[in-house]
Amino acid sequence: MLRHFVQHRRDGGNVCALATSKTHFTLKRMENGMNHKIKTLLATAGLFGALLASLPAHAENWQSLGGTDSSELLVDTDSIIESGGIREAWSMWNFKQARPNNGDPSFPTLKSYKDLHQYNCKAGSMKLVREIIFAENDGKGDKRDHSDALKGQEFNKPKPMSVGDAMLQAVCNFELKK
């Protein structure tokens, strides 16, 4: 699984490096006010497509975009497709501790969820079109599809330096197989 971290330099800059072992990200404030998590996600997004394009094809190929001590964001690179100038990709959040699921007493907590986003790379925008929540990590266990609540969503530009911005960059920079 792709892992990365930000290393501070004495001259005030940062270096993005890849690591093969699990690396936890902290939310320490940087001089410019950005936290390590977002800075790391954005630094890695540019490398994401080139590094993952050579991986073999699988039914699902979840690659980490980063995380914290409490959660991790992954993208299924095998799900990235493009049609009519719009890309689609599945992402998944895993949480170390169960999170409350308000509004559904039969499904009180979740530990992961998968989202299908559409990306308009030319416009720099994205929209959520499907969401499935799961009782266990890695999209396992009991599940509920909450996609009906997403009908009518419009494309929106994510805020600069946000997790959405990192996802947009990662998916749009990913080199599709020909």
- The model's confidence at residue 20, banded by pLDDT at 50, 70 and 90, is very low
Give domain status of residue 8, yes or no.
Answer: yes
Which CATH number covers residue 102? Answer: 2.40.128.710
Q: Residue 12 above 70 pLDDT?
A: no
- The model's confidence at residue 105, banded by pLDDT at 50, 70 and 90, is confident
What's the CA gap between 176 and 172, in Å, rounded? 9
pLDDT of residue 17: 32
What's the CA gap between 49 and 171, in Å, rounded? 7
pLDDT (tens digit per residue) in 27-61: 333 334 444 555 555 555 554 444 444 444 447 99
Which helix (H) or strand (E) segment holds residue 130: the answer is strand 125-136
Report pTM.
Answer: 0.68
Torsion angles phi and psi, residue 171, rounded to 5:
-70, -45
Picking from 63, 70, 69, 64, the residue whose alpha carbon sits closest to that of residue 24 is: 69
DSSP secondary structure of 6-62: EEE-TTS-EEEEEESS------PBPTTS-BHHHHHHHHHHHHHHHHHTTSPP-S--E
Give domain status of residue 124, yes or no.
Answer: yes
pLDDT of residue 68: 94
Least confident of 8-12, 98-102, 121-125: 8-12
Least confident of 94-108, 114-128, 160-174: 94-108
pLDDT of residue 27: 30
Q: Is-contact 66 25, C-beta < 8 A?
A: yes
Question: How many domains does the chain fold into?
Answer: 1
Distance of CA 116 to the CA centre of its chain: 11
What's the CA gap between 110 and 97, in Å, rounded? 9
Domain span holding position 110: 3-173
Q: Is-contact 39 27, C-beta < 8 A?
A: no
Q: Which amino acid is at 33?
A: G
pLDDT of residue 98: 97
Give domain status of residue 178, yes or no.
Answer: no
What's the CA gap between 92 and 1, in Å, rounded? 14
Q: Residue 81 above 70 pLDDT?
A: yes
